[in-house]
Structure 1
Amino acid sequence: MNAVRQSDASAIPALRTLAWAGFLLGFGMGGFFDGILLHQVLQWHHLLSLVPGEPFRDIKVQILADGLFHVLMYLIAAIGLWKLWKARRAAATGDRLLLASAAFGFGVWNIVDAVLFHWVLRIHHIRLDVNPLLWDLLWFVVFGLAFVALVRWLNRGEGPVGGGKSAAALVLAVLVGGPVAALPPRDTDTVMVFFKPGTTPNQVFAGIEAVDGRILWAAPTGDVWALDVRDKAKTALLYRHGAFLVSNSALALGCVKWTSAKL
Protein backbone atom coordinates (compact mmCIF):
# COMPACT_ATOMS: atom_id res chain seq x y z
CA MET A 1 0.00 0.00 0.00
CA ASN A 2 2.80 2.41 0.91
CA ALA A 3 4.53 1.63 -2.36
CA VAL A 4 1.34 2.46 -4.26
CA ARG A 5 0.95 5.73 -2.40
CA GLN A 6 4.58 6.64 -3.06
CA SER A 7 4.06 5.84 -6.73
CA ASP A 8 0.97 8.04 -6.85
CA ALA A 9 2.78 10.84 -5.05
CA SER A 10 5.74 10.67 -7.42
CA ALA A 11 3.38 10.92 -10.39
CA ILE A 12 1.88 14.23 -9.22
CA PRO A 13 4.80 16.47 -10.38
CA ALA A 14 4.80 14.77 -13.80
CA LEU A 15 1.06 15.26 -14.17
CA ARG A 16 1.40 18.89 -13.12
CA THR A 17 4.09 19.40 -15.74
CA LEU A 18 1.87 17.68 -18.30
CA ALA A 19 -1.02 19.98 -17.42
CA TRP A 20 1.19 23.05 -17.82
CA ALA A 21 2.44 21.71 -21.15
CA GLY A 22 -1.12 21.35 -22.40
CA PHE A 23 -2.08 24.81 -21.14
CA LEU A 24 0.89 26.53 -22.79
CA LEU A 25 0.42 24.67 -26.06
CA GLY A 26 -3.28 25.53 -26.08
CA PHE A 27 -2.53 29.16 -25.24
CA GLY A 28 0.05 29.34 -28.03
CA MET A 29 -2.32 27.69 -30.49
CA GLY A 30 -4.92 30.30 -29.56
CA GLY A 31 -2.43 32.99 -30.53
CA PHE A 32 -1.58 31.22 -33.79
CA PHE A 33 -5.29 30.84 -34.58
CA ASP A 34 -5.85 34.55 -33.92
CA GLY A 35 -2.81 35.67 -35.88
CA ILE A 36 -3.32 33.45 -38.91
CA LEU A 37 -7.09 33.73 -39.25
CA LEU A 38 -7.79 37.30 -38.14
CA HIS A 39 -4.53 39.08 -38.98
CA GLN A 40 -3.62 37.34 -42.23
CA VAL A 41 -6.48 35.41 -43.83
CA LEU A 42 -9.51 37.57 -43.00
CA GLN A 43 -7.40 40.69 -42.29
CA TRP A 44 -10.01 41.99 -39.85
CA HIS A 45 -7.53 43.61 -37.49
CA HIS A 46 -3.95 43.89 -36.37
CA LEU A 47 -2.61 43.97 -32.84
CA LEU A 48 -2.42 47.77 -32.58
CA SER A 49 -5.25 48.67 -34.97
CA LEU A 50 -6.93 51.17 -32.63
CA VAL A 51 -3.89 52.65 -30.91
CA PRO A 52 -4.02 56.41 -31.56
CA GLY A 53 -1.11 58.47 -32.79
CA GLU A 54 0.67 59.02 -36.06
CA PRO A 55 3.50 56.54 -35.31
CA PHE A 56 0.97 53.70 -35.24
CA ARG A 57 -0.18 54.51 -38.77
CA ASP A 58 3.31 53.57 -39.91
CA ILE A 59 3.26 50.14 -41.55
CA LYS A 60 6.64 49.32 -40.00
CA VAL A 61 5.21 49.75 -36.52
CA GLN A 62 2.24 47.52 -37.34
CA ILE A 63 4.48 44.83 -38.84
CA LEU A 64 6.83 45.03 -35.86
CA ALA A 65 3.96 44.71 -33.36
CA ASP A 66 2.40 41.73 -35.14
CA GLY A 67 5.83 40.17 -35.54
CA LEU A 68 6.59 40.49 -31.82
CA PHE A 69 3.18 38.99 -31.07
CA HIS A 70 4.05 35.94 -33.17
CA VAL A 71 7.47 35.66 -31.53
CA LEU A 72 5.79 35.62 -28.11
CA MET A 73 3.42 32.86 -29.25
CA TYR A 74 6.37 30.86 -30.62
CA LEU A 75 8.14 31.23 -27.28
CA ILE A 76 5.10 30.11 -25.29
CA ALA A 77 4.57 27.13 -27.60
CA ALA A 78 8.26 26.20 -27.37
CA ILE A 79 8.08 26.19 -23.57
CA GLY A 80 4.97 24.02 -23.84
CA LEU A 81 6.82 21.55 -26.08
CA TRP A 82 9.73 21.47 -23.64
CA LYS A 83 7.41 20.72 -20.73
CA LEU A 84 5.66 18.07 -22.79
CA TRP A 85 9.01 16.41 -23.42
CA LYS A 86 9.77 16.48 -19.69
CA ALA A 87 6.41 14.83 -18.98
CA ARG A 88 6.55 12.41 -21.92
CA ARG A 89 6.08 9.35 -19.70
CA ALA A 90 2.98 10.83 -18.09
CA ALA A 91 1.72 11.83 -21.54
CA ALA A 92 1.52 8.16 -22.52
CA THR A 93 -1.39 7.67 -20.10
CA GLY A 94 -2.58 11.25 -19.65
CA ASP A 95 -4.32 12.04 -22.92
CA ARG A 96 -7.46 13.35 -21.26
CA LEU A 97 -5.53 15.64 -18.89
CA LEU A 98 -3.39 16.98 -21.72
CA LEU A 99 -6.35 17.59 -24.01
CA ALA A 100 -8.35 19.29 -21.25
CA SER A 101 -5.39 21.51 -20.37
CA ALA A 102 -4.91 22.47 -24.02
CA ALA A 103 -8.60 23.34 -24.38
CA PHE A 104 -8.34 25.43 -21.22
CA GLY A 105 -5.27 27.26 -22.53
CA PHE A 106 -6.95 27.95 -25.87
CA GLY A 107 -10.04 29.31 -24.13
CA VAL A 108 -8.01 31.40 -21.68
CA TRP A 109 -6.12 33.05 -24.54
CA ASN A 110 -9.36 34.14 -26.20
CA ILE A 111 -10.81 35.35 -22.89
CA VAL A 112 -7.67 37.35 -22.12
CA ASP A 113 -7.65 38.72 -25.66
CA ALA A 114 -11.27 39.85 -25.41
CA VAL A 115 -11.17 41.28 -21.89
CA LEU A 116 -7.70 42.83 -21.90
CA PHE A 117 -7.09 43.84 -25.51
CA HIS A 118 -10.66 44.49 -26.73
CA TRP A 119 -12.36 46.04 -23.70
CA VAL A 120 -9.72 47.26 -21.23
CA LEU A 121 -6.85 48.46 -23.42
CA ARG A 122 -9.04 48.81 -26.54
CA ILE A 123 -6.15 48.33 -28.93
CA HIS A 124 -8.24 46.34 -31.41
CA HIS A 125 -11.54 44.52 -31.91
CA ILE A 126 -12.31 41.29 -33.77
CA ARG A 127 -13.90 43.34 -36.54
CA LEU A 128 -13.48 47.08 -36.84
CA ASP A 129 -16.01 47.81 -39.56
CA VAL A 130 -19.19 45.92 -38.53
CA ASN A 131 -20.71 45.68 -35.02
CA PRO A 132 -17.44 45.51 -33.05
CA LEU A 133 -19.10 44.65 -29.73
CA LEU A 134 -21.22 41.87 -31.27
CA TRP A 135 -18.19 40.23 -32.87
CA ASP A 136 -16.15 40.60 -29.68
CA LEU A 137 -18.89 38.92 -27.64
CA LEU A 138 -19.38 36.18 -30.22
CA TRP A 139 -15.68 35.38 -30.27
CA PHE A 140 -15.51 35.56 -26.46
CA VAL A 141 -18.31 32.99 -26.10
CA VAL A 142 -17.49 30.60 -28.96
CA PHE A 143 -13.71 30.44 -28.61
CA GLY A 144 -13.34 31.50 -24.98
CA LEU A 145 -16.10 30.36 -22.67
CA ALA A 146 -17.04 27.34 -24.80
CA PHE A 147 -13.52 25.93 -24.68
CA VAL A 148 -13.25 26.50 -20.93
CA ALA A 149 -16.59 24.71 -20.53
CA LEU A 150 -15.24 21.89 -22.68
CA VAL A 151 -12.69 21.20 -19.94
CA ARG A 152 -15.44 20.14 -17.54
CA TRP A 153 -16.85 17.74 -20.11
CA LEU A 154 -13.42 16.23 -20.77
CA ASN A 155 -12.77 15.82 -17.04
CA ARG A 156 -15.99 13.86 -16.57
CA GLY A 157 -14.54 10.85 -18.32
CA GLU A 158 -13.59 7.93 -16.14
CA GLY A 159 -10.03 6.74 -15.97
CA PRO A 160 -7.03 7.82 -18.02
CA VAL A 161 -7.01 7.69 -21.77
CA GLY A 162 -3.69 6.34 -22.97
CA GLY A 163 -1.72 5.99 -26.13
CA GLY A 164 -0.26 9.49 -26.25
CA LYS A 165 -2.53 10.49 -29.13
CA SER A 166 -3.27 13.92 -27.65
CA ALA A 167 0.43 14.64 -27.26
CA ALA A 168 1.15 13.66 -30.86
CA ALA A 169 -1.78 15.74 -32.13
CA LEU A 170 -0.73 18.83 -30.16
CA VAL A 171 2.88 18.58 -31.29
CA LEU A 172 1.74 18.23 -34.90
CA ALA A 173 -0.64 21.20 -34.55
CA VAL A 174 2.11 23.42 -33.15
CA LEU A 175 4.71 22.32 -35.69
CA VAL A 176 2.26 22.99 -38.53
CA GLY A 177 0.46 26.04 -37.14
CA GLY A 178 3.59 27.95 -36.14
CA PRO A 179 5.33 27.96 -39.51
CA VAL A 180 2.05 28.68 -41.33
CA ALA A 181 2.13 32.14 -39.75
CA ALA A 182 5.31 32.90 -41.68
CA LEU A 183 4.36 31.31 -45.00
CA PRO A 184 3.79 33.60 -47.98
CA PRO A 185 0.34 33.40 -49.54
CA ARG A 186 0.05 31.40 -52.72
CA ASP A 187 -0.69 32.89 -56.11
CA THR A 188 0.59 36.35 -55.28
CA ASP A 189 3.21 38.43 -57.06
CA THR A 190 3.29 41.11 -54.38
CA VAL A 191 6.45 41.72 -52.37
CA MET A 192 7.22 44.20 -49.62
CA VAL A 193 10.53 46.03 -49.94
CA PHE A 194 12.15 47.87 -47.03
CA PHE A 195 14.97 50.24 -48.04
CA LYS A 196 17.86 51.33 -45.84
CA PRO A 197 17.81 54.87 -44.40
CA GLY A 198 19.52 57.23 -46.79
CA THR A 199 18.59 55.32 -49.93
CA THR A 200 17.99 57.89 -52.67
CA PRO A 201 14.88 57.94 -54.87
CA ASN A 202 17.11 57.22 -57.87
CA GLN A 203 18.35 54.03 -56.19
CA VAL A 204 14.81 52.97 -55.32
CA PHE A 205 13.49 53.45 -58.84
CA ALA A 206 16.57 51.80 -60.33
CA GLY A 207 15.85 48.77 -58.16
CA ILE A 208 12.21 48.69 -59.21
CA GLU A 209 13.24 48.89 -62.85
CA ALA A 210 15.81 46.12 -62.37
CA VAL A 211 13.12 43.67 -61.25
CA ASP A 212 10.53 44.88 -63.77
CA GLY A 213 8.33 45.78 -60.81
CA ARG A 214 5.01 47.57 -60.79
CA ILE A 215 4.37 49.94 -57.87
CA LEU A 216 1.27 49.05 -55.85
CA TRP A 217 1.80 51.18 -52.77
CA ALA A 218 4.49 53.28 -51.08
CA ALA A 219 4.86 54.66 -47.57
CA PRO A 220 4.91 58.47 -47.34
CA THR A 221 8.46 58.20 -45.97
CA GLY A 222 9.58 56.47 -49.16
CA ASP A 223 11.35 53.61 -47.40
CA VAL A 224 8.66 50.92 -47.70
CA TRP A 225 7.22 49.83 -51.04
CA ALA A 226 4.75 47.20 -52.20
CA LEU A 227 5.65 45.92 -55.66
CA ASP A 228 4.16 43.52 -58.16
CA VAL A 229 7.11 41.38 -59.28
CA ARG A 230 6.27 38.52 -61.63
CA ASP A 231 9.72 36.91 -61.64
CA LYS A 232 10.59 36.19 -57.99
CA ALA A 233 14.13 35.19 -58.99
CA LYS A 234 14.82 38.86 -59.70
CA THR A 235 13.92 40.13 -56.22
CA ALA A 236 17.49 39.57 -55.01
CA LEU A 237 18.51 42.45 -57.29
CA LEU A 238 16.71 44.84 -54.95
CA TYR A 239 19.42 44.33 -52.33
CA ARG A 240 21.91 45.88 -54.76
CA HIS A 241 19.83 49.04 -54.78
CA GLY A 242 19.55 49.70 -51.04
CA ALA A 243 16.94 47.20 -49.85
CA PHE A 244 17.59 45.52 -46.51
CA LEU A 245 14.48 43.30 -46.47
CA VAL A 246 12.34 41.86 -49.27
CA SER A 247 9.35 39.84 -48.06
CA ASN A 248 6.18 38.29 -49.40
CA SER A 249 5.02 36.91 -46.04
CA ALA A 250 1.30 36.92 -45.31
CA LEU A 251 1.96 39.11 -42.29
CA ALA A 252 3.60 41.86 -44.31
CA LEU A 253 1.07 41.76 -47.14
CA GLY A 254 -1.85 41.78 -44.74
CA CYS A 255 -0.45 44.90 -43.11
CA VAL A 256 -0.12 46.56 -46.53
CA LYS A 257 -3.77 45.95 -47.35
CA TRP A 258 -4.94 47.12 -43.93
CA THR A 259 -2.75 50.24 -43.95
CA SER A 260 -3.64 51.14 -47.53
CA ALA A 261 -7.33 50.99 -46.67
CA LYS A 262 -6.79 53.38 -43.76
CA LEU A 263 -4.87 56.00 -45.72
Structure 2
Amino acid sequence: MESAAISKVAWTPTALFRWAGYLLGFALGGFFDGILLHQILQWHHLFSGIETAPWLDLRMQVMADGLFHLLMYGIALAGLWCLWRTRWEYAQPGAGRRLWADALIGFGVWHVIDAVLSHWLLGLHRIRMDSASPLLWDLVWFAVFGLGFIALGWWLSRRGGTSGTGRAGAAALFGAVAIAMPWSMLPAPGQSAVLVLFRPGVSAPQAIAALERIDADLLWSDASGQLWAVRPAAGQRASLLYRHGALWVGGSLLPAGCLGWLQVRT
Protein backbone atom coordinates (compact mmCIF):
# COMPACT_ATOMS: atom_id res chain seq x y z
CA MET A 1 0.00 0.00 0.00
CA GLU A 2 2.77 2.42 0.92
CA SER A 3 4.73 1.73 -2.27
CA ALA A 4 1.59 2.25 -4.35
CA ALA A 5 1.02 5.60 -2.69
CA ILE A 6 4.62 6.65 -3.32
CA SER A 7 4.34 5.73 -7.00
CA LYS A 8 1.44 8.17 -7.35
CA VAL A 9 3.52 11.10 -6.12
CA ALA A 10 4.25 13.46 -9.00
CA TRP A 11 7.89 13.52 -10.00
CA THR A 12 9.61 16.89 -9.95
CA PRO A 13 12.89 16.99 -11.92
CA THR A 14 15.96 18.26 -10.13
CA ALA A 15 17.79 21.33 -11.36
CA LEU A 16 20.69 19.16 -12.53
CA PHE A 17 18.37 17.03 -14.67
CA ARG A 18 16.89 20.18 -16.22
CA TRP A 19 20.36 21.52 -16.96
CA ALA A 20 21.22 18.27 -18.73
CA GLY A 21 18.52 19.03 -21.30
CA TYR A 22 19.35 22.73 -21.54
CA LEU A 23 23.07 22.12 -22.11
CA LEU A 24 22.58 19.29 -24.60
CA GLY A 25 20.06 21.35 -26.57
CA PHE A 26 22.32 24.42 -26.47
CA ALA A 27 25.25 22.38 -27.82
CA LEU A 28 23.06 20.85 -30.53
CA GLY A 29 22.03 24.38 -31.53
CA GLY A 30 25.67 25.38 -31.83
CA PHE A 31 26.52 22.29 -33.86
CA PHE A 32 23.48 22.87 -36.09
CA ASP A 33 24.64 26.44 -36.72
CA GLY A 34 28.30 25.60 -37.26
CA ILE A 35 27.89 22.50 -39.42
CA LEU A 36 25.02 23.79 -41.55
CA LEU A 37 25.84 27.49 -41.93
CA HIS A 38 29.65 27.46 -41.65
CA GLN A 39 30.47 24.27 -43.51
CA ILE A 40 27.59 22.98 -45.67
CA LEU A 41 25.85 26.15 -46.80
CA GLN A 42 29.00 28.24 -46.26
CA TRP A 43 26.97 31.38 -45.58
CA HIS A 44 29.37 32.67 -42.95
CA HIS A 45 32.21 31.87 -40.59
CA LEU A 46 32.28 32.79 -36.91
CA PHE A 47 34.14 36.06 -37.55
CA SER A 48 33.01 36.83 -41.12
CA GLY A 49 31.88 40.30 -40.07
CA ILE A 50 35.37 41.33 -38.93
CA GLU A 51 37.29 42.79 -41.86
CA THR A 52 40.64 43.38 -40.23
CA ALA A 53 43.75 41.24 -39.87
CA PRO A 54 44.15 38.41 -39.07
CA TRP A 55 40.53 37.50 -39.92
CA LEU A 56 40.95 38.24 -43.62
CA ASP A 57 42.95 35.02 -43.76
CA LEU A 58 40.52 32.17 -44.47
CA ARG A 59 42.66 29.76 -42.45
CA MET A 60 42.07 31.89 -39.34
CA GLN A 61 38.33 31.82 -40.00
CA VAL A 62 38.34 28.02 -40.30
CA MET A 63 40.43 27.72 -37.13
CA ALA A 64 37.93 29.92 -35.27
CA ASP A 65 35.10 27.66 -36.46
CA GLY A 66 37.03 24.67 -35.13
CA LEU A 67 37.50 26.29 -31.72
CA PHE A 68 33.79 27.12 -31.69
CA HIS A 69 32.95 23.46 -32.27
CA LEU A 70 35.39 22.50 -29.53
CA LEU A 71 33.47 24.77 -27.15
CA MET A 72 30.21 23.08 -28.18
CA TYR A 73 31.78 19.69 -27.45
CA GLY A 74 32.64 20.94 -23.97
CA ILE A 75 29.08 22.11 -23.36
CA ALA A 76 27.70 18.80 -24.65
CA LEU A 77 30.01 16.87 -22.31
CA ALA A 78 28.79 19.01 -19.41
CA GLY A 79 25.20 18.13 -20.37
CA LEU A 80 26.05 14.42 -20.55
CA TRP A 81 27.71 14.64 -17.13
CA CYS A 82 24.55 16.22 -15.68
CA LEU A 83 22.45 13.49 -17.28
CA TRP A 84 24.71 10.74 -15.91
CA ARG A 85 24.57 12.22 -12.41
CA THR A 86 20.76 12.19 -12.54
CA ARG A 87 20.33 8.97 -14.52
CA TRP A 88 17.95 7.58 -11.89
CA GLU A 89 15.49 10.32 -12.77
CA TYR A 90 15.23 9.20 -16.37
CA ALA A 91 13.21 6.18 -15.19
CA GLN A 92 10.49 8.46 -13.82
CA PRO A 93 7.23 8.89 -15.75
CA GLY A 94 7.50 11.91 -18.04
CA ALA A 95 11.29 12.21 -17.74
CA GLY A 96 11.82 11.64 -21.45
CA ARG A 97 9.31 14.35 -22.31
CA ARG A 98 10.96 16.77 -19.88
CA LEU A 99 14.45 16.07 -21.27
CA TRP A 100 13.33 16.66 -24.85
CA ALA A 101 11.44 19.79 -23.86
CA ASP A 102 14.46 21.25 -22.10
CA ALA A 103 16.69 20.29 -25.03
CA LEU A 104 14.37 22.14 -27.44
CA ILE A 105 14.46 25.19 -25.17
CA GLY A 106 18.26 25.03 -25.03
CA PHE A 107 18.37 24.70 -28.83
CA GLY A 108 16.25 27.83 -29.20
CA VAL A 109 18.17 29.77 -26.57
CA TRP A 110 21.39 29.22 -28.53
CA HIS A 111 19.86 30.88 -31.61
CA VAL A 112 18.44 33.76 -29.58
CA ILE A 113 21.79 34.46 -27.93
CA ASP A 114 23.64 34.08 -31.24
CA ALA A 115 21.30 36.55 -32.97
CA VAL A 116 21.36 39.19 -30.25
CA LEU A 117 25.04 38.93 -29.35
CA SER A 118 26.87 37.80 -32.50
CA HIS A 119 24.64 39.38 -35.16
CA TRP A 120 23.40 42.64 -33.68
CA LEU A 121 25.54 43.72 -30.72
CA LEU A 122 29.05 42.55 -31.67
CA GLY A 123 28.60 42.27 -35.44
CA LEU A 124 30.72 39.11 -35.65
CA HIS A 125 28.69 37.75 -38.56
CA ARG A 126 25.20 37.64 -40.04
CA ILE A 127 23.20 34.58 -41.05
CA ARG A 128 23.86 35.22 -44.73
CA MET A 129 26.78 37.52 -45.36
CA ASP A 130 26.19 37.79 -49.11
CA SER A 131 22.53 38.81 -48.81
CA ALA A 132 21.28 42.25 -49.81
CA SER A 133 18.93 42.05 -46.77
CA PRO A 134 20.97 40.43 -43.97
CA LEU A 135 18.54 41.63 -41.28
CA LEU A 136 15.70 39.69 -42.91
CA TRP A 137 17.68 36.45 -42.75
CA ASP A 138 18.63 37.19 -39.13
CA LEU A 139 15.00 37.76 -38.16
CA VAL A 140 13.72 34.63 -39.92
CA TRP A 141 16.38 32.48 -38.24
CA PHE A 142 15.71 34.17 -34.89
CA ALA A 143 11.96 33.57 -35.16
CA VAL A 144 12.00 29.99 -36.48
CA PHE A 145 14.98 28.38 -34.77
CA GLY A 146 15.10 30.66 -31.73
CA LEU A 147 11.66 31.71 -30.51
CA GLY A 148 9.94 28.87 -32.36
CA PHE A 149 11.93 26.13 -30.65
CA ILE A 150 11.67 27.78 -27.24
CA ALA A 151 7.89 27.89 -27.66
CA LEU A 152 7.84 24.26 -28.82
CA GLY A 153 9.88 23.18 -25.80
CA TRP A 154 7.64 25.12 -23.44
CA TRP A 155 4.54 23.50 -25.01
CA LEU A 156 6.06 20.04 -24.75
CA SER A 157 6.95 20.57 -21.09
CA ARG A 158 3.34 21.54 -20.31
CA ARG A 159 1.78 18.65 -22.21
CA GLY A 160 0.41 15.87 -20.03
CA GLY A 161 1.17 12.20 -20.53
CA THR A 162 4.23 10.52 -21.95
CA SER A 163 3.00 8.72 -25.07
CA GLY A 164 4.68 10.01 -28.19
CA THR A 165 6.11 13.14 -26.58
CA GLY A 166 9.70 11.95 -26.73
CA ARG A 167 9.22 11.18 -30.41
CA ALA A 168 7.73 14.64 -30.89
CA GLY A 169 10.87 16.26 -29.50
CA ALA A 170 13.13 14.13 -31.66
CA ALA A 171 10.99 14.89 -34.71
CA ALA A 172 11.33 18.61 -34.05
CA LEU A 173 15.13 18.49 -34.06
CA PHE A 174 15.26 16.23 -37.09
CA GLY A 175 12.69 18.47 -38.75
CA ALA A 176 14.98 21.47 -38.32
CA VAL A 177 17.63 19.68 -40.31
CA ALA A 178 15.10 18.46 -42.89
CA ILE A 179 13.85 22.02 -43.46
CA ALA A 180 17.27 23.65 -43.65
CA MET A 181 19.30 21.05 -45.52
CA PRO A 182 17.63 21.47 -48.95
CA TRP A 183 18.94 25.07 -49.01
CA SER A 184 22.42 23.62 -49.32
CA MET A 185 21.59 22.45 -52.83
CA LEU A 186 20.04 25.67 -54.10
CA PRO A 187 22.13 27.20 -56.90
CA ALA A 188 23.83 30.48 -56.15
CA PRO A 189 23.29 33.50 -58.38
CA GLY A 190 25.81 33.25 -61.19
CA GLN A 191 28.70 30.81 -60.98
CA SER A 192 29.45 29.15 -57.64
CA ALA A 193 32.78 29.77 -55.95
CA VAL A 194 34.94 26.89 -54.83
CA LEU A 195 37.89 26.37 -52.53
CA VAL A 196 40.86 24.53 -53.99
CA LEU A 197 43.69 23.07 -51.92
CA PHE A 198 46.73 21.95 -53.89
CA ARG A 199 48.97 19.21 -52.57
CA PRO A 200 52.40 20.06 -51.12
CA GLY A 201 54.97 20.52 -53.85
CA VAL A 202 52.65 22.34 -56.25
CA SER A 203 54.11 25.80 -56.71
CA ALA A 204 52.03 28.95 -57.07
CA PRO A 205 52.79 29.23 -60.82
CA GLN A 206 51.73 25.60 -61.29
CA ALA A 207 48.52 26.28 -59.36
CA ILE A 208 47.78 29.32 -61.48
CA ALA A 209 48.39 27.31 -64.64
CA ALA A 210 45.94 24.67 -63.38
CA LEU A 211 43.32 27.30 -62.61
CA GLU A 212 43.73 28.78 -66.08
CA ARG A 213 42.62 25.44 -67.50
CA ILE A 214 39.11 26.12 -66.17
CA ASP A 215 39.29 29.89 -66.83
CA ALA A 216 38.80 30.53 -63.11
CA ASP A 217 38.60 34.02 -61.64
CA LEU A 218 40.72 34.43 -58.52
CA LEU A 219 38.80 35.58 -55.43
CA TRP A 220 41.36 34.92 -52.73
CA SER A 221 44.57 33.00 -52.04
CA ASP A 222 46.64 32.38 -48.94
CA ALA A 223 50.31 33.24 -48.56
CA SER A 224 51.45 29.65 -49.18
CA GLY A 225 49.94 29.58 -52.66
CA GLN A 226 48.26 26.26 -51.95
CA LEU A 227 44.76 27.37 -50.89
CA TRP A 228 42.69 29.29 -53.43
CA ALA A 229 39.15 30.61 -53.64
CA VAL A 230 38.12 30.80 -57.28
CA ARG A 231 35.07 31.07 -59.52
CA PRO A 232 35.23 28.72 -62.53
CA ALA A 233 34.08 30.01 -65.89
CA ALA A 234 30.65 28.99 -67.13
CA GLY A 235 30.58 25.39 -68.28
CA GLN A 236 33.88 24.51 -66.61
CA ARG A 237 34.11 21.73 -64.00
CA ALA A 238 36.28 22.47 -60.97
CA SER A 239 36.74 18.72 -60.46
CA LEU A 240 39.18 18.77 -63.40
CA LEU A 241 41.68 20.37 -61.03
CA TYR A 242 42.20 16.96 -59.40
CA ARG A 243 44.14 16.02 -62.53
CA HIS A 244 46.47 18.95 -62.04
CA GLY A 245 47.62 18.68 -58.46
CA ALA A 246 44.50 19.54 -56.45
CA LEU A 247 44.27 17.69 -53.16
CA TRP A 248 40.75 18.89 -52.33
CA VAL A 249 38.09 20.87 -54.23
CA GLY A 250 35.11 21.95 -52.14
CA GLY A 251 31.87 23.86 -52.59
CA SER A 252 31.25 23.08 -56.25
CA LEU A 253 27.58 22.19 -55.51
CA LEU A 254 27.08 24.78 -52.79
CA PRO A 255 26.17 28.46 -52.76
CA ALA A 256 29.07 30.87 -52.87
CA GLY A 257 28.11 31.81 -49.33
CA CYS A 258 31.04 32.95 -47.24
CA LEU A 259 33.20 33.28 -50.36
CA GLY A 260 30.86 35.96 -51.65
CA TRP A 261 32.24 38.54 -49.22
CA LEU A 262 35.89 37.81 -49.98
CA GLN A 263 37.61 40.57 -51.92
CA VAL A 264 39.94 39.89 -54.80
CA ARG A 265 43.55 39.83 -53.59
CA THR A 266 46.48 40.51 -55.90
Q: TM-score, normalised by structure 2?
A: 0.62
Shift of the 154–198 alpha-carbon distance from structure 1 to 2, 3 Å rule, reads: same
Counterpart of 1:46, as a letter, is H
The CA deviation at 1:186 is 8.2
Question: Comparing 19-28 with 84-93, which one deviates more in the overlay?
Answer: 84-93
Contact 2:104 2:149 in 1 (8 A): yes
The CA deviation at 1:121 is 2.8
Equivalent runs, 1:152-167 vs 2, <5 Å: 152-161=154-163, 164-166=166-168
Q: Which runs of 5+ in 2 are unaligned?
A: none
Question: Comparing 95-104 with 215-224, which one deviates more in the overlay?
Answer: 215-224
Q: Deviations over 1:168-209 (max 9, x none)?
A: 5478679x78xx69xx85889864223468853333245447
Partner of 1:200: 203
Matched, 1:258 2:261: yes
> In structure 2, how many angstroms separate the alpha carbons of the residues matched to 1:170 and 1:87?
26
Shift of the 119–254 alpha-carbon distance from structure 1 to 2, 3 Å rule, reads: closer
> In structure 1, how many angstroms separate the alpha carbons of the residues matched to 2:253 and 2:99?
31
> In structure 2, how many angstroms separate the alpha carbons of the residues matched to 1:138 and 1:168?
22
Greater helix percent: which structure?
A: 1
Partner of 2:63: 64
How many equivalent residue pairs? 250
Matched, 1:102 2:103: yes
> In structure 1, how many angstroms separate the alpha carbons of the residues matched to 2:170 and 2:146?
24
Counterpart of 1:66, as a letter, is D
User: What SS class does the counterpart of residue 194 from structure 1 fall into?
Assistant: strand
Equivalent runs, 1:100-249 vs 2, <5 Å: 100-126=101-127, 136=138, 139-161=141-163, 164-166=166-168, 169=171, 191-195=194-198, 199-208=202-211, 212-220=213-221, 221=223, 222-225=225-228, 226=230, 228=232, 230=237, 232=239, 235-238=241-244, 241=245, 245-248=248-251
The CA deviation at 1:149 is 3.6
Shift of the 171–20 alpha-carbon distance from structure 1 to 2, 3 Å rule, reads: farther
Identity within the alignment, %: 42
> In structure 2, how many angstroms separate the alpha carbons of the residues matched to 1:64 and 1:29?
20
Q: Deviations over 1:52-88 (max 9, x none)?
A: 4132222333333335445555665677689879689
> In structure 1, how many angstroms separate the alpha carbons of the residues matched to 2:227 and 2:211?
12
Shift of the 25–247 alpha-carbon distance from structure 1 to 2, 3 Å rule, reads: same
Counterpart of 1:114, as a letter, is A
The CA deviation at 1:48 is 1.0
> In structure 2, how many angstroms separate the alpha carbons of the residues matched to 1:247 and 1:151?
37
> In structure 1, how many angstroms separate the alpha carbons of the residues matched to 2:211 and 2:42?
29
Shift of the 137–261 alpha-carbon distance from structure 1 to 2, 3 Å rule, reads: farther
The CA deviation at 1:219 is 2.2
Shift of the 207–5 alpha-carbon distance from structure 1 to 2, 3 Å rule, reads: farther
User: What SS class does the counterpart of residue 163 from structure 2 fall into?
Assistant: coil
